Amino acid sequence: RTVDLFSGCGGMSLGFQSAGYNIVAAFENWPAAIECYKQNFKHPVIETDLSIVDEAIIRIKKYQPDLIIGGPPCQDFSNAGNRTEGERAELTHSFAKIITAVKPKFFVMENVARASESEAYKKARKLFIDNGYGLTEIVLDASHCNVPQKRNRFFCIGGLNQDDGFLSAILRAKQTVLPLSVRDYYSEKKYTLEFEIIIGIPGHIKEGESFLWIPPLLQFVELIVLNLLNTKNMTATQSILQILEQ
């Protein structure tokens, strides 16, 4: 039985559900995200301000979760932000208070990489440890986890009465040696797309030929380059216009 806190539109719920976990409820405070969530999942999503910890605990306990997952808002920790800790950073501490009151067997907290260095996380971490949770703390690069995106995320995985680092060896062993690129991803999947000739490039593209599918932007750039290679006295702009016209 799994509960998702700060669920947003349901990214973590979808991942855990796809992995076979039974999501019994989600909690979110942003109406637009809640409406999106409802369109994609059958289980309830409850509009709740998780900063009001005592009320949140009462609502969450009803679902008797074995596992709680969540990604507290990360704008105050993000490299793209102003790197100061504001009110939203305190929601990490709220997450910890909820975990230690509800006492699931396990929890998974996800955030941006630099969140692990924050004062809010240090307070949350102490609360987890003081309440008997062993912690696996690790920054994972998505491109080494079979996702074609260079994105570092911090994970804190807690297990009640577990040793610290209880999942570290498994998580490291499951990572790939080389990062996965978008091109590699689609090459492995062998997606193909039948399409007719777009622009005459003798020796390169034949009518009705089957091509390895790559994202449209990369395909567009590839056409521009090939067109320039086969057409004398043409600028890149002229090449783009010619492709668009056809």
Examine the residue annotation and report whether 36 is marked as an active-site residue of this protein: no
Which tokens sit at 203?
């020796």
Residue 35: Cβ within 10 Å count: 11
**Signed CA dihedral, 171, 5, 73, 93: sign only:** negative
Q: Secondary structure of 157-225 in the HEC alphabet?
A: EEEECCCCCCCHHHHHHCCCCCCCCHHHHHHHHCCEEECCCCCCCCCCCCCCCEEECCCHHHHHHHHHH
Question: Residues 36, 74, 145, 156: which is the catalytic one?
Answer: 74
Which tokens sit at 10?
């349901």
- Phi/psi for 139 (5° steps) reads -100, 125
- Look at the block and give the residue holding tokens 């509960």: 3
The answer to whether 76 and 86 are in contact (CB under 8 A) is: yes
The answer to whether 45 and 109 are in contact (CB under 8 A) is: no
d(CA 15, CA 47): 21
Alpha-carbon torsion angle 238, 239, 240, 242, nearest 10: 80
How many helices and strands, by DSSP H and E, does the chain display?
9, 9
User: Which residues are identified as catalytic?
Assistant: 74
